[in-house]
Amino acid sequence: MAKPKDSGVYLGIDLGGTNVQIGVVTDGGEVLSRAKRKTGAEEGRDAILDRIVDGTNEACESAGVTLDEIGAVGMGAPGPVDPNTGVVLEAVNLRWLDEPIADLLGRKLGKPVFLDNDVNVAVYGEWKQGAGRGARNLMGAWIGTGVGGGLILNGELYYGHYLTAGELGHMILLPDNPPGVRSVEHNCSRTAMCHRVRQLVEAGRDSVVPDLVDGKLNKIKSKTIAEAYSRNDELVIEVVHDAANRLGTMLGGLVTLLSLEKIVLGGGLTEAIGGPWVEQVRGAVHRVAFPAICRNVEVVASLLEDNAGVVGAAFIAIERAGKA
C-alpha cells in the first residue's frame, strides 16, 4: 500500500518476549506495512535492537517510504517503563534492568524513539483508533499468557506516582488464597485456564481437549481453548466462564471505584474466543458495578486486535513528537 499524499508516516514497534511487530502507520491510523522478527531474548540487548533495525528497514521498504520520511518512532516494551526517560526499568522475560532503550534504538535509527509499556501502548491505540475512541475514562484489560491493563483517565494515559499504573494482572483477586494463586493473572490468564483444564482432564473429566492436542496437555493454546469452547466442550466452557466471571467481578469493582465509561478487552485469549468471552465478562461487570448508573459501562472487544500495539506505538510517537 502506498503512502497517502500529505500524510505523515510513523513507525510503531511492539516488542514482546517472543516476537517484535513493526509497522509503518499513517497519522490517520492506517497500517501501511508490517514486519515481524523473533525477539531472541537469549542473544542479549544489542542483538535484539539490531533485529528491530532490520525489521524497520523491511517495514519501510514494504510501505514504499524511506527511514528519512518517518516522523518519529514509538515502541511498547514489556514491564515497567519510564516514558519520560525512555528507560525499560525491568523486563523479566528480556532479562533487562534499567536499559535506556529509547536512546540506544534512537541512535541506531537516527530518529527520536518514544517508549512506553506494551499494554499502555495497545490501550492507547484502541483509544485513539479503535474500540475506545471518544471515551475519557477507560480501562483496557489484555488477556493472554498473562493479564495486563492500561488506564485512560480524564482523557489521558494514566501513569501514577511510580509510572507503573495498570498492573491489573498483579492485583489480588482472592485475598484468602495463598500467594501464587490469588492474583488476577493466576486465575484469569490463558495460562491459568490451560493449567485448570489440564488438572481437570488429568482428574478424569471428559473433554475434547486431549484429542485437539494429540494428548499433549502441555501444548494447550488459546486456539485450543477457543476450538473446544466452540464445540460446546462442557469442561472448557466451565473453566472459561469461571475465569470470565472472576475477571468481570474485578473489573466491575474497578468500574465502581473509577466510574469508568468503557472497558476494552484485548489480548490473544480475547481474540481467540471473541464474542462469548466478552459477553461473559460483560455480564459479571454489569452484575456488580455500583451505583446503578455505572452499569451503563460499555464492555467491548478490541477492534485493532493484533495491530493495537503498532498503531498505539505510532500514535504515542505522533503525540510526543508533536509536543517535543
List interacting residues with a copy of itself (CB under 8 A): 80, 90, 135-137, 149, 151, 153-154, 158-168, 170-176, 245-246, 249-250, 252-254, 256-261, 288, 290-291, 293-294, 296-297
CA distance 194 to 257: 31
First to last CA, the chain: 29
CA distance 214 to 219: 9
Nearest approach, Cβ of 48 to a copy of itself (angstroms)? 22
* Closer residue to a copy of itself in complex, CB, 133/290: 290
Nearest approach, Cβ of 140 to a copy of itself (angstroms)? 12
Nearest approach, Cβ of 280 to a copy of itself (angstroms)? 14
Closest CA to 39 of 54, 28, 27: 54
- Give the CA count within 13 Å in the CB-facing half-sphere of 15: 32
Residue length, the chain? 324
* Closer residue to a copy of itself in complex, CB, 53/171: 171
* Closer residue to a copy of itself in complex, CB, 82/233: 82
* Closer residue to a copy of itself in complex, CB, 93/245: 245
Closest CA to 49 of 120, 112, 104: 104
Residue 310 burial class via C-beta count within 10 angstroms: exposed 0-12, middle 13-18, buried 19 and up = buried
* Closer residue to a copy of itself in complex, CB, 57/259: 259
In the block, residue with C-alpha cell 509497522:
23
Nearest approach, Cβ of 139 to a copy of itself (angstroms)? 9
* Closer residue to a copy of itself in complex, CB, 71/253: 253
Residue type, 166: G
Between strands 9-15 and 19-26, the pairing is antiparallel
Nearest approach, Cβ of 168 to a copy of itself (angstroms)? 6
Nearest approach, Cβ of 128 to a copy of itself (angstroms)? 18
